Structure 1
């Protein structure tokens, strides 16, 4: 399994990119290879992620993405209509259509600890994918630089998932599995400890007050303490 140390970008050295891997900050055209449409789109997205992270959405051009991916501009347009569509495809990977969501479905007799463990497992499993980690970091940066794009992604993709989890939590409270509180009334806040840790990871690099494993266990215990019926 890829460790978070490998997944997240290190402090940039002179002339290197801010993201994972060994790509140079200056885009260098890669040799053209024959790939399937799915593989080619993945290469385009990988190249775009590096360019968006290094230069921001506004400053990144299709030409830069094409050079990074080893394609012509026409090669990019064969798969994507615009830079905006590439950006949206990157964000879509954070919450794919087949994503099971956070809260597990209601099952009679399932204890709170099992519900919380499933939620935590699903939440932290995302960190095993370095592309998702890097995309999340880009999302944080672009929420300030391109707020309208990020807001549209939230409205079209994330909001329905949040509403689904909230509906399940409301039912857990109604059945007495969870204790009603400000947290259960606004359950999207339940992911806050992980978001906080990832932001610290971006700011502090490797000088963190706790490891990911420690953060995960503290997060789990925090939810159990907050949701346990009295």
Structure 2
């Protein structure tokens, strides 16, 4: 099975599905070409749509996808109104966020430390405009595991207070998931949390646990034709 979690929801234009992959697929840029290609082929077969990737740069750029043109934009969020395109947000501790607007538009967001601090999720919601939106927040490293220097915690928490955390061993940490959920709540967006802590769950990819050997899981969202 390609996904460990799938939800399908009605929208004005039909139905949209959201899903998350686990360690069975490696969709990362550093994966061997044949491994990544096989993973993308599985996603395509499971969704009936063309996978669309972005080159994630820990920023706030939102790229509007107008079709399965094979582009690989520098961005941390993808938005589309098109059917037949599967948007992917890849992660290995960062937070993959999937958004579904009631009018049928969809978005996939990669929210890492800088993305949370700088507001990539609010930027994507702004791109979707004033329509009701639902969110799915995928597996990510928890606040009890994401140790950072005190100066970094202070910098991020100054922008997003909900991220302030401590590890289970008592050192400074960030809770990126809590930060994303706070940003969604502030915008009035209901959110469903999917999966656990990537560092603690060895069925998920984690850079903090596996270092350079870590692969990448993905949040995937697509609108059915």
Name the structure with the higher strand share.
2
TM-score after normalising by structure 1 = 0.27
Structure of greater Rg: 1
Name the structure with the higher helix share.
1
Q: Which structure has more RCO (C-alpha within 8 Å, separation ≥ 6)?
A: 2
